[in-house]
């Protein structure tokens, strides 16, 4: 049992003890008791969240859709992908990246769909087909110091982008806790996507609209680094990663896939 599963079991222990006291057959020994107790706890957590103005509806919707995206008795994940689904390539050895679907174009129900992926740390969108993809391994939730919990890779990307947008231009005004969050989020996102933290930061600077052409001829990486405090700037000041050429989905298996150096 993993540490998080053990924590969940302990939470059910406390919930069960509070409601029913000592039971001859509790959730640890009785499957029916465990399912009933779990369902009751989830409902109570929803009610608790709503009663305290906490956002739980979006999380539940995301969990339900993630289950659909991963298939089930009546669904095939090859055809059930939707925009922003977290995906990875089926051939892990040839293409180790993970990312998010940003465009989908299908010729009809049950047909293979053309799609475009955004891979954190790879600036150019990647073109492929849904037959080349599968649901991605989920990122472990990350507790930040200043922005709450990022429950998924998509939330980690959004949170990192928001931090970048809010960074002050003057280095002394930057909260060290914010910088620590930025470093940990970019590292976690890079580990999930199969890229590098400095590539992720550069990429999200582009997405945040924080990089603009300058007349001094500085490289995009140097321009990105200029507005960051020293420790983040040191990561960003490396060589610009090679932009992968766009792929087209007509015959994806006959072309070599782009590789980053």
Which CATH number covers residue 121?
A: 2.30.30
Assess whether 157 and 106 both reside in one domain. Answer: no
Instruction: Kindly report, residue by residue over 170-181, the tens digit of the pLDDT.
Output: 455 678 899 899
31, part of any domain = yes
**Domain span at residue 189?**
142-236
Which helix (H) or strand (E) element contains residue 135?
A: strand 133-135
The backbone region for 214, taken as left when phi is positive above 0, alpha when psi lies in -120 to 50, beta otherwise, is beta
68, part of any domain = no
Which has more pLDDT, 142 or 210?
A: 142
32, part of any domain = yes
The reported pLDDT for the residue numbered 68 is 58
176, part of any domain = yes
Assess whether 249 and 132 both reside in one domain. Answer: yes
How many Cβ atoms from other residues are within 10 Å of residue 242's Cβ?
Answer: 13
CA distance 170 to 181: 18
65, part of any domain = no
Residue 104, pLDDT > 50, answer yes
Residue 250, pLDDT > 80, answer no
The reported pLDDT for the residue numbered 245 is 46
Is pTM beyond 0.75 here?
no
Q: How many Å separate Cα 82 from the centre of its chain?
A: 15
Assess whether 148 and 169 both reside in one domain. Answer: yes
Assess whether 149 and 192 both reside in one domain. Answer: yes
Query: What confidence tier does 214 reach under pLDDT thresholds 50, 70, 90?
Result: very low
Assess whether 93 and 160 both reside in one domain. Answer: no
Q: What is the mean pLDDT of residues 163-167?
A: 86
The reported pLDDT for the residue numbered 135 is 87
70, part of any domain = no
Length reported for the chain: 261
Q: Give the chain's domain count.
A: 3
**Burial tier of 86 (Cβ tally within 10 Å: 0-12, 13-18, 19+):** buried
Which has more pLDDT, 171 or 187?
A: 187
The reported pLDDT for the residue numbered 234 is 45
């Amino acid at each position: 049992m993993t540490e998080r599963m053990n924590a969940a079991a302990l939470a059910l222990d406390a919930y069960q003890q509070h409601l029913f006291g000592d039971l001859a057959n509790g959730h640890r020994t009785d499957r029916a008791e465990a399912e009933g107790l779990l369902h009751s706890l989830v409902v109570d957590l929803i009610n608790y969240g709503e009663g305290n103005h906490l956002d739980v509806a979006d999380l539940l919707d995301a969990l339900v859709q993630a289950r659909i995206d991963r298939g089930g008795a009546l669904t095939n994940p090859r055809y059930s992908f939707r925009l922003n689904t977290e995906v990875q390539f089926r051939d892990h050895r040839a293409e180790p990246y993970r990312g998010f679907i940003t465009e989908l174009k299908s010729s009809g129900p049950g047909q293979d769909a053309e799609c475009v992926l955004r891979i954190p740390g790879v600036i150019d969108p990647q073109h492929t087909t849904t037959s080349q993809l599968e649901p991605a391994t989920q990122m472990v939730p990350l507790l930040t110091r200043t922005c709450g919990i990022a429950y998924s890779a998509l939330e980690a990307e959004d949170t990192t982008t928001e931090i970048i947008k809010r960074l002050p231009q003057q280095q002394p005004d930057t909260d060290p806790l914010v910088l620590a969050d930025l470093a940990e989020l970019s590292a976690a996102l890079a580990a999930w996507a199969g890229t590098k933290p400095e590539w992720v930061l550069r990429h999200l600077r582009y997405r945040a609209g924080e990089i603009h052409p300058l007349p001094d001829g500085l490289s995009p990486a140097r321009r990105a680094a200029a507005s960051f405090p020293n420790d983040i700037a040191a990561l960003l000041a490396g060589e610009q990663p090679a932009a992968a050429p766009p792929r087209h989905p007509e015959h994806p298996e006959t072309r070599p896939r782009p590789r980053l150096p």
